[in-house]
Structure 1
């Protein structure tokens, strides 16, 4: 019997389960079961506002165990919701696993996920239609933890109600914010979550809450985690070249074609090129992220590894070496002229998560990517303060602001085209799941050319 549309990609599930198992194995190799259990309890009872490095507060074993649990929850939800497996699947797994090292845990994500489920029931549509935004909306899980744990103001019941409300309102909000950014900010959910946090946090403060920004940052793990990440990335590159039933030359040629795309959202590289180029891209991007962190004198810990895993997740959905390096270089350029250092924790995260603006580099050219990274390096340092670090995707919020400002300016001033809002997918749904040749990186619609 022939495979149903996109069903062949469901075989990805077994490899993601292997990834979760490797996280769990690493956890028990790095720490004892007793310490891991105590660390998990510490994680659950910790207020998770940025920056709360679980490696610093609970140890590497407990942090990796929490990541494995969150990854397992994600895989179960994706499977039982019957969501179509494609590039967004890798995006979701990489992002959830990465942020499970600093902010998301296997408890505080559930109220928001329940809200997404209720919204699907309200709309009388399958959960698979909203599980994607439900998972991404857990960027606001620190709000759930704060309300539940702050005994002087909130309580568990209030935390559940607020979490469910967040999950319920995020699908329509993110759908709107996606259009106004014209596909130039890959972390659209981060921008939408930032808008929600900008309302909820001041509202809570007016009612007597006093959320504060956290700075828990682990150091001294560079050699350990550099070795682990290097092995993971090299294995992915090897599998892309030799284990996907394609000649090596064909896999490499597919990767080179992938590098010519803009990455403008939505760009599902798995559907466009197949698994071999995506695996190569994932491994290469992971190495690039690690080199940038260590090259800037940074630390490999929960937040930075989370950023690298996020880049690797988005390697199936918009990011590649040609469009992320200029934006990251823009952050480094900012370090030469700004009054902050590249080894500051917030700047290290900005260097990784600034790649949300990779489509600007890929669509308009590397000079504009450099400009976007330069602006992002400063804007992101101030956008977390009004929301007290409650939005884990703060770089997505900052990236959305920059994308909304830069897109019409570049279009109208530099390229003399009429700015328009994108109201349709850049890549239309397909009737089959074979890789396709993407449009030219700078191709424009008839409407944009007026």
Structure 2
């Protein structure tokens, strides 16, 4: 359960109806933007292609079809996610906003209605079988669509007859969705909440199991690299307009003050941290907007291409601006990834390195808890690992960085905690000894 924080005095409270309207407005913004790039016929044909194509990392729907089709798919998937939230009766909290924006982002390069619905059905079936409210499986259902490419791969890309492939694909998706809620609940103890994409780590484990099984039966599954380019100008305008509007809305909701933002910036972000409860909706929207402006500017300064996966990374960072990320804790991670990319001769302009920096901010709580230097080291280690781990799950886990981040956190946190305890013990040994305590200890030992 999320932590409960004392409400800050003087901060306006907003209804779920208002928050729903914000999410729906975001979805409509993406949908309307689609028609600035392509005609309705092109968008329709593109979406048919999206629904019936493999979707392994990195399959940019903008390159696979066209920009309009990718944006329309993201808009539709966002509305679908909002509808699922409404049907379960869940509050529009920080985690829910993070989940909806993550779905939106990844619907530009891997998620679609066909490959996501079996996973959603599986997650909700788990809730029914275990007789818990559907709301308890909502985040598993939304984030769990990271395994959408598993459904598409089995359905369309391993050489099975189409009816058999669809049957196996839907079955694998349903089983994955059923497994995600209980496994995610267990694995959060593994990472101690220091990797925000806990379900990404869970999906990595499940995806590795399925791909190993498929390879054992002779089905080879490989990652992809289909990327769009040449759209920096229109996407820059689109993103800056979106985040500029979000910034103004945040200030308006916060009565034109920064109240609550300082509290958000000071928090480590460790799971589960709902920034709406911590600092209020206005401060949370402001934090999200600042993250969006900063990450978009980072990409442009590096000279990278803004394409489907990059926008997906930006939207995910912005979404988690309501659930653990802020400028203070993401910056060291991004610096660490960028520095490691320079020292190991990776192309820092490449999409692979840039999305490692964006999605690597899953480890932001490491910097928030242990400081800037540890954050930079964590980011550097993350890039090293994430570049080599995709083979395990064959690209069917869209949250590859969540898988890598979980492994990095599980390795570093015990080490850092051990050093912290050791340092505390050393400080205790250096403290002056009270003679009265020494006499008392001696008499007690007699």
Query: Retained in 2: the 8 A contact 1:411–1:417?
Result: no
In structure 2, the residue matched to 1:312 is 318
In structure 2, the residue matched to 1:128 is 135
Q: 1:174 aligns with which of 165, 174, 184?
A: 184
In structure 2, the residue matched to 1:93 is 100
- 1:114 aligned onto 2:114: no
Per-residue Cα deviation, 1:61-82 (whole angstroms, up to 9, x for no partner): 0000000110011011100111
In structure 2, the residue matched to 1:203 is 213
In structure 2, the residue matched to 1:379 is 385
Where in structure 2 are the equivalents of 1:186-201 lying within 5 Å? 186-201=196-211
How far apart, in 2, do the equivalents of 1:415 and 1:55 lie? Answer: 50
- 1:28 aligned onto 2:35: yes
Call closer, same or farther: CA 1:275–1:7 in 2, change over 3 Å: closer
How far apart, in 1, do the equivalents of 2:289 and 2:300 lie? Answer: 17
Structure 2: unaligned runs, 5 residues or longer: 1-12, 425-446
SS in 2 for 1:30: coil
How far 1:253 moved relative to its partner?
A: 3.4
- 1:247 aligned onto 2:237: no
In structure 2, the residue matched to 1:440 is none
TM-score with structure 2 setting the length: 0.89
- 1:392 aligned onto 2:402: no
Query: Retained in 1: the 8 A contact 2:158–2:219?
Result: no
In structure 2, the residue matched to 1:360 is 366
Per-residue Cα deviation, 1:344-394 (whole angstroms, up to 9, x for no partner): 221111010010000000011111000100111111001111211111000
- 1:294 aligned onto 2:296: no
Per-residue Cα deviation, 1:426-450 (whole angstroms, up to 9, x for no partner): xxxxxxxxxxxxxxxxxxxxxxxxx
How far apart, in 2, do the equivalents of 1:335 and 1:157 lie? Answer: 42
- 1:343 aligned onto 2:349: yes
How far apart, in 2, do the equivalents of 1:61 and 1:31 lie? Answer: 5
- 1:104 aligned onto 2:111: yes
How far apart, in 2, do the equivalents of 1:350 and 1:247 lie? Answer: 36
How far 1:94 moved relative to its partner?
A: 0.8
How far apart, in 2, do the equivalents of 1:232 and 1:417 lie? Answer: 46
How far apart, in 2, do the equivalents of 1:328 and 1:317 lie? Answer: 18
How far apart, in 2, do the equivalents of 1:229 and 1:382 lie? Answer: 31
| Higher mean displacement: 313-322 or 343-352 | 343-352
SS in 1 for 2:114: coil
Call closer, same or farther: CA 1:239–1:7 in 2, change over 3 Å: closer
Q: CA RMSD in A?
A: 1.4
How far apart, in 2, do the equivalents of 1:301 and 1:129 lie? Answer: 34
How far 1:194 moved relative to its partner?
A: 0.5
- 1:303 aligned onto 2:313: no
How far apart, in 2, do the equivalents of 1:222 and 1:33 lie? Answer: 23
- 1:266 aligned onto 2:240: no
Q: 2:156 aligns with which of 146, 149, 152?
A: 149
How far apart, in 2, do the equivalents of 1:19 and 1:247 lie? Answer: 22
How far apart, in 1, do the equivalents of 2:174 and 2:145 lie? Answer: 11
In structure 1, the residue matched to 2:9 is none
How far apart, in 2, do the equivalents of 1:7 and 1:344 lie? Answer: 41
Query: Retained in 1: the 8 A contact 2:77–2:103?
Result: yes
Query: Retained in 2: the 8 A contact 1:7–1:84?
Result: no
Per-residue Cα deviation, 1:300-328 (whole angstroms, up to 9, x for no partner): 11000000000010000000000000100
In structure 2, the residue matched to 1:403 is 409
Query: Retained in 2: the 8 A contact 1:237–1:283?
Result: yes
How far 1:150 moved relative to its partner?
A: 2.6
- How many residues were matched structurally? 409
How far apart, in 2, do the equivalents of 1:302 and 1:113 lie? Answer: 23
Q: 1:68 aligns with which of 75, 88, 101?
A: 75
Structure 1: unaligned runs, 5 residues or longer: 1-5, 419-450
How far 1:414 moved relative to its partner?
A: 4.8
Per-residue Cα deviation, 1:130-155 (whole angstroms, up to 9, x for no partner): 01111111101100001011362361
| Higher mean displacement: 43-52 or 147-156 | 147-156
Q: Which has the larger share of helix?
A: 2
Call closer, same or farther: CA 1:240–1:7 in 2, change over 3 Å: closer
